[in-house]
Amino acid sequence: MFALGFWQLQRADEKIQRLDGLQHAAQSSELSLDQASNLGVSALDMSVSFKGTIDVQRYFLLDNRIQQGRVGYEVLALVDTIQGKLVINLGWLPAPALRSELPIINLPAEPQDFRGMYALPKHNSLITETAVFDQQWPKVLQQADLTIMAKHYAEPLLPFVILLDEEQDSAYIRKWQAVVMPPEKHLAYAIQWFLLGAAALIIFIIAQRKKLKRELE
Q: How sure is the predictor about 16, in pLDDT bands with cuts at 50, 70 and 90?
A: confident
Most confident of 3-17, 92-106, 120-134: 92-106
- Do the beta carbons of residue 172 and residue 92 sit within 8 Å? yes
Q: How large a percentage of the chain has pLDDT more than 70? A: 92
- Do the beta carbons of residue 51 and residue 114 sit within 8 Å? yes
List pLDDT tens digits, range 59-117. 999 998 888 888 999 999 999 999 999 999 999 999 988 878 888 898 999 999 999 99
- Do the beta carbons of residue 119 and residue 22 sit within 8 Å? no
Every domain of the chain and the residues it spans: 1-27+181-217, 46-164
Cis status, amide bond into 138, omega within 30 of 0: yes
- Does residue 179 register a pLDDT over 60? no
Torsion angle of the four alpha carbons 44, 89, 166, 23, in this order, in degrees rounded to the nearest 10: -10
pLDDT at 74: 94
